[in-house]
Chain A
């Protein structure tokens, strides 16, 4: 449902994506791993048009991603995003954050949005925090609200941009647990992550990216247990055995 064909992207002189070709099937969980600065997050940001790309083509369900075209709103309502730093709206409660999109973008009735909003907060284990403002929540709770906000759009896929990187280690598990449940329910997910355990257990496929190109890709377990490319081997060694 998501297709990338020879995607190039530069920030000034710095070419961060040097021809990315990949696809994500419906119901698939794809993890993108690689060293920082390799272009992982840029790929996600290009898929929902937060970033433009210079060359090649990205399409979602056959619709070309063009951040300057009106159709981008359509794509963004189908492909939600969860950010590293949560980016919840601090002036609104958890529940208000969740219903914001359904209410103002999809123009659902308030009653309907509220009902689903509460159900989604319950789904991520935060039913009792509906009226809390983001600053009153822990990082892990904020990220789970952010996931509920993404789900409220009833998206066909969710992009996760290092969803646990800004969390204290003891809170990572709660967020990964919610994501694992989503994967089990058949949600299409693209996850940029450094959590190799999550990638191995939950992902169908892993892309290893370095220097703006896909160095290696394959089924999660195979790639993470027996990497073929020396750069993948080197990266995994450093991540799994930092000392």
Chain B
């Protein structure tokens, strides 16, 4: 049994069919990179995974628990799914430390001291031990995104979702964020990564999933995908990148 399973998932925005019969399994400790042209539904797939969007049919299961079940305790399930966004979405009225410590304090009732201690450790882990008291507006994009990663990790999730987390960054800041993600992967975190960073995909991914027009068209090991994609769609996609 895979940690995260998608079965026959369909999603519509009004008339538009954005996810078509998605079947996908992400194993524990797997780094699953999802790529594809814009509008192919890859971000939507991530957003459905923690129910920021609702699906119209099919099922998504985490550890065999159907999280798309209307009766599922979504707040409970979301604690097990960390999400990092393209636009960081840090809380601007809170310091880096408070951003990271907030959810453990409020959701898990971790005592203030302990939550702050844990938050400090997490911020050190993403290389921001010196910025604990900074407000988001005082941090660079790369630093903000690393705080956002620490914030998601603070809930000790089973799986982390990364939604084009480097797309809003200046090119010179992309590296520091990918570095943190690479470390996470090495530590054995299960990750679903939507990205345009092909170097990262090739190097860190265990599997590469290509989406186009709301469907999964190819899913292989990165070596194979980047050397010789089996589908025509994959070949087209790669040829545009090069």
- Indicate, yes or no, whether A interacts with B: no
A: residues with CB less than 8 A from B are none
- Chain B residues at the A interface, C-beta cutoff of 8 Å: none
